[in-house]
Structure 1
Amino acid sequence: MAQIRRLVVDVLKPHEPPVLAFTQQVGDAESIAGINATLLELDKEVQNVKLTIEGEAIDYDAIEALIEDAGGTIHSVDQVVCGEYIVENAPTPQD
């Protein structure tokens, strides 16, 4: 099976821990080479954060467990890139 090289997930998390600490905690996963967190929405009770994760062989189950341990939940998986290298999206007329 092809290894996951990039994973983009939409996460709902409580305000605590802050986005910085939350991202560092998830980023400690052994399979992650780099992680980017973008705050998409903030309301009274939760934050909606997009995590872009890259690595040679990302362990989805480990990432999900770390997110849940930090109080978050994966709302959706928005992008998965697998294979020997990362393929970027090609523009199409509807873009």
Structure 2
Amino acid sequence: MKVFMQPVFLENLFYESLKLLCFISLPILLSLLFVGLFFNIFQKITSINEQALSFVPKIITICLIFTFFGAWILNLIVHYMEYVFNNISSAIFCTL
């Protein structure tokens, strides 16, 4: 008995996983980009070369992003996993 998976399902699964990855990483990356850019400009203007000055606000930003967007991110992941588990049985077929 051979077990095969339909290529259409795999293509759709790959597309949905990449779309989910973009949706999850977008708020985190954009907020860290703006915070890093702001503190980099601030360091250049004031001639302060302290590494902790840019590190601490980024950690605080990540904590705030997960506080505000954590439920949304978790909801996206749960819906994606429901989609995968509900459709995996229809995507697999066996031949003798």
Q: TM-score, normalising length from structure 1?
A: 0.28
Which has the larger share of strand?
Answer: 1
Bigger Rg, which one: 2
By percentage of residues, which structure has more helix?
2
TM-score, normalising length: structure 2: 0.28
